[in-house]
Amino acid sequence: MSRWLTEAVPRGRVAAFRTLVYLFVAADLVIFTPWVRDRVDVPGNLYQPLFVGRVLPLPTPTATLVSVVFWALLLLALLAATGRAHRLLGWTVFALYLEWMIIAMSYGKVDHDRFALLVALAVLPTAGRARHGDPTRTEAGGWALRVTQISVICTYFLAAWAKFRFGGLDWATGSVLAKAIIRRGTDLADLIAQVPHLLLVAQFGILAFELLSPLVFALPERWRLAMVGFFYSFHLVTIATITISFAPHLVAMTSFLPLEKVRPVIALRRLLARRSTLDRRRLDPDPLPADTPPVPNPAAP
């Protein structure tokens, strides 16, 4: 079991995952959850902190507190994306983002799509130093990615358990998807809803998919990647039909992927170098070799 938990991975994969996660945290603040800053306008007596917020305990959000967390987290997340000072910056970003999420989720609605991302932020400081493109393998980095993978699958499996706990079999036989389509459905969802019994089949399919998701760990690598691709396609359909993105979860799920093979900086450099070479050839064509015989002029006497 310990060998499986600490299966070594290339350091380049850890570096790429680290950069992606921290860049998403910065993007999350300004794209997905900027509304958290509006919480300061809500009366303080409506703040009902989550369990962790009561245990620590954390103060009731104020305008000053939220602004400090926002700007500090934005700056430190961008710095952490460089991979420098990975422990100091990593733990600090995790603490600030945890506070950001507690503020966001302590007013009556808790989004489970952020669980795996929080786990990733908690374990990345332990992954050790890593540079992009480094093929050297690391067990510490493997453990960090494996724990993140487990949290991704737990999100699916425990979602199914919650459905049975609060809705029972009625969740699968009821009108859950129909209500979601009425509330926030797209034109594509309206077309799907017209097919008889398709929504009920989809609800049973969602339960089966969530309950069987742990099988991803029992598959060979090729089929594991195919199953992860199915996970992404499921969320693509979700976005296209009821406009729910699960963006933080999708970022955490990249822990399954061979990210060390994706090096955008190198690809950009190659593209720029290729374009520069083509531009030089257009402006200054290559001269003919010295031993090339002259082309005869038929008009010459």
pLDDT for 108:
80
pLDDT for 101:
94
Write the burial class of residue 118 (CB in 10 Å: 0-12 exposed, 13-18 middle, 19+ buried): middle
pLDDT for 293:
60
pLDDT for 11:
95
pLDDT for 262:
81
Query: Could you give the count of Cα atoms lying within 13 Å of 300 in the half-sphere of its Cβ?
Result: 3
Please, are residues 228 and 94 in contact by the beta-carbon 8 Å criterion?
no
pLDDT for 56:
84
279, amino acid identity:
D
Place of tokens 């130093």: 129
Angstrom distances, CA of residue 243 to CA of 203, 205, 269: 17, 19, 36
CA distance 240 to 289: 59
Task: State which residues of the chain have pLDDT below 70.
Answer: 264-269, 279, 284-301
pLDDT in tens, 68-102: 999 999 999 999 999 999 999 999 999 999 999 99
pLDDT for 49:
85
DSSP, collapsed to helix, strand or coil, labels residue 34 as helix
pLDDT in tens, 139-157: 999 999 999 999 999 999 9
pLDDT in tens, 165-177: 888 888 999 999 9
pLDDT for 290:
54
pLDDT for 2:
82
